[in-house]
Amino acid sequence: MEEEMIPIDPEAVMSFNCSSQNICFNDCCRDLSQALTPYDILRMKNNLGMPSQEFLRRYTSRHTGPLSGLPVVEFKPNPQTGHACPFVTRKGCSIYSDRPGSCRLYPLARAISRSRQTGQVMEYYALIKEDHCKGFAERTGDQTVKEWLAGQDVAQHNFQNDKLMMLISTKNMILPGRLEPVQADHFYMALYDIDEFRDRIFNHGLFNVLNVPPGILDKIRDNDPFLLDLGIKWIQYILFGMEIKFEG
Ligand code: SF4
Ligand code: SF4
């Protein structure tokens, strides 16, 4: 598949129209090799009303980053369907309101960097031009990149996914090279398999050595984004020895 990445400014006009009337409708949901983030998993498993263990087992596969040793989670490959996403239907995406961040961004890709001096996060975008996507040929869709992003409701995904990017960046600075398998398993459980993480906290004493305030325990019980934030803090604690500050 031919693919071209063209850097683009957020204020630039992006002539693109994606519609169910396009002959390419749903083609972007096939032949996938798409990394899923912890927040993607959280939204999808809640959309389906499914515990994270079951969602991960049914719909995803786990690999290991060859240099970092970090877990990489993707949709389970299915050659029988041309590696189609498990959620694509003839009418489109069956979990549209909770589709992953990368699905919302397409045909854009996003990267970030953080200034060491100010801590400010800078965003960079590129257009992904692939043969199968005919949206660029539809001339009715002039909008700026910013307007396109607003229409895709991607801000919350970006906000949550940036926390993962910062964690990985810290890991690469403090612990360059491959994680040990047991460290990778902890990373996977706390961030991707958060219902298992919750179960370990409440039923297997995972936080017994930590002085967790009762109000925090209530939030852990039924607030998944809060638990995901806590998972990041716990990984910083066990990998880098950073103190966990219980706030919220
Ligand atoms: S989650 Fe939805 S939008 Fe994303 S690849 Fe699957 S069907 Fe397509
Ligand atoms: S225009 Fe591109 S993004 Fe839209 S359905 Fe077609 S392939 Fe997918």
pLDDT tens digits along 73-98? 999 988 888 889 999 999 999 999 99
pTM, rounded to two decimals? 0.94
> What whole-number percentage of the chain has pLDDT above 90?
79
Q: Is the CB of 28 under 6 A from ligand 2?
A: yes
Q: Is the pLDDT of residue 2 over 80?
A: no
End-to-end Cα separation, the chain, in angstroms = 46
Predicted pLDDT at 114? 84
Q: Residue 111 and residue 124: Cα distance in Å, rounded?
A: 5
Give residue 20 CA to ligand 2 midpoint distance, Å. 8
Q: Is the pLDDT of residue 1 over 60?
A: no
Residues 36, 153, 196, 49: what is their CA dihedral angle, to the nearest 10 degrees? -110
Confidence of residue 141 (pLDDT cuts 50, 70, 90): low
Q: Which ligand is nearest to the CA of 83?
A: 1
Q: Is the pLDDT of residue 237 over 60?
A: yes
- Tell which atom from ligand 1 comes closest to the C-alpha of 95: 2
User: Domains of the chain: which residue ranges?
Assistant: 3-160, 164-240
Q: Is the CB of 18 under 6 A from ligand 2?
A: yes
Q: Is the CB of 84 under 6 A from ligand 1?
A: no
For CA atoms 13, 19, 25, 26, the dihedral sign is positive
- 1, 14, 134, 140: which to mutate for ligand 2, most atoms within 8 A of CB? 134
What φ, ψ does residue 220 adopt, rounded to 5°?
Answer: -60, -35
Q: Is 130 helix (H, G, I), strand (E, B) or coil?
A: strand
Q: In this structure, are residues 219 and 226 in contact, taking their beta carbons and an 8 Å threshold? A: yes
Give residue 126 CA to ligand 1 midpoint distance, Å. 20
